[in-house]
Chains A and B, each alone.
Chain A
């Protein structure tokens, strides 16, 4: 349902002769239902990569496919959860979650059932009629997740989704995300600069180097869920990734 493949994807900005290369020759594949973290420093082009998968930006070279269909623009099969939530402030929680379903022209009763299901999934049933301004950061991000999942996308894209949250809330939301993902398995691409977040959440970690962004390594995380941050395997992987990223900073 949600296979993703990137083949030779590059992105350059600027006018000819004065270009800046953001990403160069990025290729990897994700299986259906795989949870992938894109890990790298700020400026490594990881958000650009996500924006191209979402269809907000077009690659300068290479091709991105979802289920063998080339990506040519934004669409409901690839929905995004933004760091700043990007909820519609004029709409209630329920209206926010229902937005994509209205765009799909679902009848009202089917819409209501799907919205209720997703509000239940993110545990916000009692907050359906609140406005985003009346919610905490963690709750807003749960609304954003519900809104993105409600249209049944093939791929869920997350751009540093917990970056604006305090440490405690971030921990809680990471656990929540894993719980939600296990109940509704989806291919997930999550951009992060946090090594811990990548290890805690992902099946596969794509490590990007900076300027220009290119793949440094793609590695699988074969740790039992829920993941134990104190286990030797976890710590070994963390040390390895830190070395990989640190070498980058030194270079």
Chain B
């Protein structure tokens, strides 16, 4: 048996491992406590209070079972995939805000012309576009993507613009005196120097877009996580509603994690980017 060799090593390794687990799990104590409390409330208190009310708050155990079923039947993955696809399409379109933001930050004339347009459109919440966009595009992907795009484009644009405007003037001067022309300067100095702020804009934009996505799907879609929870509401399937909500949260978190990873990869020199 290999147990003999491993057994001798165990007393040495175990305390360190335990300490490590302990450190990792410690911040989750309150969360775990709340989940347990939630379960107890659902199990013991609510049914005694009123059977109708009990339906309105599904228990964690029930949610786990519903989530398992929704995943097994492919329903949850199907809605999640539709939502993610809309987010991705809108993001690809909203990425055009990066070159526009650079141009606005770099050339005064472009800034002069575009800034008033941006300032008029920006304060209109993406959700206020929903009625008009439904008339324009009907229910479905294009309408959803349009709303998500509107949620993403302004944070990306304004962060890029600000990033370019805040580029250290001496970096530009240094590059110019070392012989950099306009194109090289924009690509190799301005873009690079503004990149941390641009990445921040992408993160904020993806977050805003995800929020706008759910709202758009609530009213204007027949698939997606927003549709899923609204549809379940009409059937009083609160368990599906909450599972959908959790899926929206987890997916949003995953997107942000992915972008932080991208930031670390894109900005190896900038330590603070990964941590924020």
Interface residues of A (CB under 8 A from B): 54-56, 73-76, 78-80, 82, 84, 86, 88-91, 99-100, 103-104, 131-133, 147, 151
Contacts and interface: CB of A to CB of B under 8 A. Distances in A.
A88 B189 contact: yes
Interface string B173-207: 11111111000100001001101000000000000
Contacts of A100: 178-179
A84 B171 CA distance: 10
B178 A151 contact: yes
Nearest to B185: A103
A73 B178 CA distance: 12
A24 B195 CA distance: 41
11 contacts: A55-B177, A76-B179, A78-B177, A79-B177, A86-B174, A88-B175, A91-B269, A100-B179, A103-B178, A133-B269, A133-B271
A103 B179 contact: yes
Contacts of B171: 86, 88
Given A80-B173, A103-B184, A147 B178 contact: yes
Interface of B: 168, 170-171, 173-180, 184, 189, 192-193, 195, 267-271
A97 B267 CA distance: 20
Contact of B174 (A78, A82, A131): A82
A84 B170 contact: yes
A74 B173 contact: yes
A84 to B, nearest CB: 6
Nearest to B271: A133
Given A55-B176, A90-B270, A99-B175, 8 more contacts: A55-B177, A74-B173, A76-B177, A76-B178, A84-B168, A88-B175, A103-B178, A132-B269
Given A75-B179, A103-B178, A103-B184, A86 B173 contact: yes
A87 to B, nearest CB: 8
A190 to B, nearest CB: 16
A54 B178 contact: no
A75 B175 CA distance: 9
Please indicate which of the listed interface residues B176, B179, B184, B189 has the most CB atoms of chain A within 10 Å of its own CB. B179
A86 B170 contact: yes
Contacts of B193: 88-90
Contacts of A103: 178-180, 184
A89 B177 contact: no
Given A75-B179, A100-B179, A54 B173 contact: yes
Contacts of B270: 89-90
Nearest to B168: A86
Nearest to A134: B269
Given A103-B184, A131-B269, A133-B269, A90 B177 contact: no
Given A84-B170, A86-B170, A90-B195, A151 B179 contact: yes
A44 to B, nearest CB: 20
B194 to A, nearest CB: 11
A13 B193 CA distance: 29
B141 to A, nearest CB: 38
Contacts of A90: 192-193, 195, 267, 269-270
Contacts of B176: 55-56, 73-74
A76 to B, nearest CB: 4
Nearest to B171: A86
Contacts of A88: 171, 174-175, 189, 192-193
Nearest to A81: B174
Contacts of B184: 103
A105 to B, nearest CB: 9
B178 A99 contact: yes
B267 A75 contact: no
A174 to B, nearest CB: 22
